[in-house]
Structure 1
Amino acid sequence: MKFHLSLFVIIGIIFGIKLEGCQCKVVQFIFGDSLSDVGNNKYLSKSLAQASLPWYGIDFGNGLPNGRFSNGRTVADIIGDNMGLPRPPAFLDPSLTEDVILENGVNYASGGGGILNETGSYFIQRFSLYKQIELFQGTQELIRSRVGKDEAEKFFQEARYVVALGSNDFINNYLMPVYSDSWTYNDETFVNYLMGTLREQLKLLHGLGARQLMVFGLGPMGCIPLQRVLSTSGDCQDRTNKLAIRFNQAGSKLIDELQKQLPNSSYRFGDAYDVVNDVISNPNKFGFQNSDSPCCSFGNIRPALTCIPASKLCKDRSKYVFWDEYHPSDRANELIANELIKKFGFMRADQTNPPSPSPAIAPSSNH
């Protein structure tokens, strides 16, 4: 008997069989829209929501477009870095394997996606939150077949989860008359509709093992450059901002209720509305010079919905709150992330040093 046990141990060492289980790392699974997308839409060839052209990604890695709708990092990137967690690759990344998932987790976020299936339909291709959860279920099957049911359950229960959607449900659905939701609901009933849907989605995630989960709230959507340029005065759209506040109030209440109802859950609602509003209202206080127009713009032709190679870049990207008509700059994302880290007292999952950002000064060219 001792001989057989010794032989099994030797074979295990030779072939790298982990006798004690998978020894899985703590990773992240991220569900979101363009504020968290790290490349899924890049592989959705028919999607109109794209960040695949210069100057996207100019302050990230090699400076080439990587699928992020920013010049640099996302809020989820920065929070994960500070917690010592690996950056999860896009679900559609061709290099994604079971081993990569076990090492880094997965990011399912998709530009144009929403809590509701109908949101962003005019982008043609995008992953709604229900679709992202469906893809996560497929990921679970892969991992179960790789490490076994018990190890997989432990892996998914120890992982961190981020859910960051909602702005498209307003900007690219409810506030646009081409969508039936805009005349089916009023402000109150539409937020209730969103919350009812989100409740079912978060319960579904809990049933799939999500125990440590953070839902991001919405910032002052009415102050993004796209909304400002649609008003005659250039001011923030007050109604749109009030919808964001209403969403955050209802979302915070929902998370409190689920935290009490769902066993072993540690659910949090990350509301950075006030700090983002303060940055936009008082940019100089935070070291910004511009908080009402995009760094990457097509001269006086606005709104140019995406940043393109023919666009002009501002001289110093670290001085702009917004990168394009929709999305914050790397530096603004850093400020938002640090506020959430401070608010929730996030602890590091390990002691490794987080990746450092690249410089945010425009390249020496005509742009």
Structure 2
Amino acid sequence: MKFTTLAAMMVAVAVFGLLIDGHDCKIVQFIFGDSLSDVGNNKYLSKSLAQASLPWYGIDMGNGLPNGRFSNGRTVADIIGDTMGLPRPPAFLDPSLNEDMILENGVNYASGGGGILNETGGYFIQRLSLYKQIELFQGTQTLIRSKIGEQAAEKFFQDARYVVALGSNDFINNYLMPVYSDSWSYNDQTFMEYLMDTLEKQLKLLHSLGARQLMVFGLGPMGCIPLQRVLSSSSACQDRTNKLALSFNKAGSKLMEDLSSQLPNASYRFGDAYDVVNNVISDPNKYGFSNADSPCCSFGRIRPALTCVPASVLCKDRSKYVFWDEYHPSDSANELIATELIKKFGFSRVGETDGHSPAPAIAPSPEG
């Protein structure tokens, strides 16, 4: 009897151990970013002026209610993750987040208005910079180590996929605005060096925390977003702003190559979709769009209306607009960008998943 009891206990311990090991075999994503990747963190920052918590944001997802995404639908990271069979990570600040959810779905730390630099987006009052997001990730690691142990946690974080998608705010909501000291403390070259030096330190820090498979998203032609166009008397793209985006992409691509060769077991890639977005903006009809210079959600002739609000007027067919609001691409544009990156890098499904996602899916048929 005693032997049978002891054997049963040993089997139970072994099964429990397998369950713990099962957690560290699940491949998830950890996403660091700005409003292009935010899935709800800012709605829990009560003082933040960068919000997507009002209609009509989220109109083409799930129940059509705002879900924290700064678009009518999915983000680029949503679409790429779905294609790879990865679960959509919930917002870090979601009150329901716990260790089990992290082990099953990963975490999204992205914050509207956030930048690579701590000073970026200051006039939004509250936002999470990349350094702050990494600090929160360190706290996440402490929770997971307590839950499944040091060894299993190390494997869990090293097997995970990482996305870093920031940079546009460092220009549009920092360097290019005279209210920020960076605008007069640097020139184009020295600011880029400052930005890349900071990003290099941050990516090395993530590597020290276990990030082995990581992609940094490049910048699109940010001088062509509606907010930049409306600042021009001719409504043309801002050439200097676009040149800064191209410089960022060139420097960022080189940084990824250097880090991949320097850091042990690092597979660091740079996702540059500038050309495809520029092509869409230059010839929208070729790609199925009818408008590439103004937002679908606008406040009539009052421009720029910096955010989409309930009193805003929506375009007739959201699938035909490249831009959802003054800053952000529409779901259709995000799908085009994601598809380009998927083709460029040959992304395929990762491991075995059940395909379940706690995040809302795209609505089947948007209505005007």
Report the TM-score when normalising by structure 2: 0.95
Is residue 292 of structure 2 the alignment partner of residue 287 of structure 1? no
Residue 244 of structure 1 corresponds to 245
Is residue 41 of structure 2 the alignment partner of residue 36 of structure 1? no
Identity of aligned residues (%): 78
Alpha-carbon distance in 2 for matches of 1:359, 1:326: 25
Alpha-carbon distance in 2 for matches of 1:74, 1:215: 15
Q: Check the 8 A contact 1:307/1:324 in 2, yes or no.
A: yes
Alpha-carbon distance in 2 for matches of 1:20, 1:286: 47
Q: Please report how far the alpha carbon of residue 6 of structure 1 lies from its aligned counterpart in structure 2 after TM superposition.
A: 1.5
What do the CA deviations read for 1:176-233 (whole angstroms, capped 9, x no partner)?
0000000000111101100000000000000000000000000000000000000000
Matches within 5 A, 1:1-367: 3=4, 5-12=6-13, 17-19=16-18, 21-24=20-23, 25-349=26-350, 350=352, 352=354, 357-359=362-364, 361-363=366-368
Alpha-carbon distance in 2 for matches of 1:29, 1:296: 30
Secondary structure in structure 1 of the residue aligned to 2:294: coil
Q: Check the 8 A contact 2:69/2:75 in 1, yes or no.
A: yes
RMSD of the alignment, in Å?
Answer: 1.5
Q: Which amino acid aligns with 2:230?
A: V
Alpha-carbon distance in 2 for matches of 1:222, 1:75: 19
Alpha-carbon distance in 2 for matches of 1:215, 1:4: 53
Structure 1 unaligned regions, length at least 5: none
Q: Check the 8 A contact 2:87/2:355 in 1, yes or no.
A: no
Secondary structure in structure 2 of the residue aligned to 1:17: helix
Structure 2 unaligned regions, length at least 5: none
What do the CA deviations read for 1:67-119 (whole angstroms, capped 9, x no partner)?
00000000000000000000000000011000000000000000000000000
Q: Check the 8 A contact 1:52/1:66 in 2, yes or no.
A: yes
Alpha-carbon distance in 1 for matches of 2:6, 2:163: 43
Q: Check the 8 A contact 1:84/1:354 in 2, yes or no.
A: no
Q: Check the 8 A contact 1:32/1:113 in 2, yes or no.
A: yes
Alpha-carbon distance in 1 for matches of 2:355, 2:100: 23
Alpha-carbon distance in 1 for matches of 2:5, 2:172: 65
Secondary structure in structure 2 of the residue aligned to 1:226: helix
Secondary structure in structure 2 of the residue aligned to 1:65: coil
Q: Please report how far the alpha carbon of residue 61 of structure 1 lies from its aligned counterpart in structure 2 after TM superposition.
A: 1.0
Q: How many aligned residue pairs are there?
A: 361
